[in-house]
A and B are shown apart, each in its own frame.
Chain A
Amino acid sequence: ILNVEQSPQSLHVQEGDSTNFTCSFPSSNFYALHWYRWETAKSPEALFVMTLNGDEKKKGRISATLNTKEGYSYLYIKGSQPEDSATYLCALPAYVYNQGGKLIFGQGTELSVKP
């Protein structure tokens, strides 16, 4: 059974702080890793899809790294802003070819940025 764990469960930071959180997964049979941002009352929004060991992706102040050999991904936010407040979800596909790509989600990290 694919188990995806995220830590911490919640994080409270001040505006301007940089922060990071972790997604851990079994290193065997890795296929891809997804990061989503989920703001309250909105749809989860895809941030990054990562597939290669050593991948590093960036979107504005948010970046992510991937280590498939040790089974973790880090999400970094530089200079957090109140609009970054959201739940950040990590998900991995339980690969079933041509059956729609079942995603297994972690519990999420809830980030709150205070002005």
Chain B
Amino acid sequence: ETGVTQTPRHLVMGMTNKKSLKCEQHLGHNAMYWYKQSAKKPLELMFVYNFKEQTENNSVPSRFSPECPNSSHLFLHLHTLQPEDSALYLCASSQTGTETYEQYFGPGTRLTVT
């Protein structure tokens, strides 16, 4: 596999469920990101991991719990979500130290909370 992959591509979950989103990058990058896109809104940064350390938490509710076990893998653990959390969740990666911070994106997970 090449680039950035995300699984699952679609997820439907109830408000009491616990699920996890997975992201894997095959680019040798050292930074990974979670973004959220709700309908008609800009991409919204949720978390940044740099060399496996979380460097940004953009005021995200605790029902979203990220995990970065190594520079290639990023998870987003979900529990007791709300219907308004239904959105597209995108993962991205980049190489720090580059001049332009170009990011490479996965295809996203479409999450529906019922």
Contacts and interface: CB of A to CB of B under 8 A. Distances in A.
Interface stretch (B11-19, B59-67, B76-84, B89-97): B89-97
A105 B31 CA distance: 18
B107 A41 contact: yes
A105 B107 CA distance: 17
A101 interface: yes
A105 B101 contact: no
Given A41-B107, A98-B50, A108 B31 contact: no
A45 to B, nearest CB: 8
Contact of B42 (A51, A100, A105): A105
Interface residues of A, number: 26
Interface residues of B, number: 29
B107 A42 contact: yes
Given A43-B108, A98-B97, A103 B55 contact: no
Contacts of A51: 99-100
Contacts of B40: 107
Contacts of A41: 107
A6 to B, nearest CB: 9
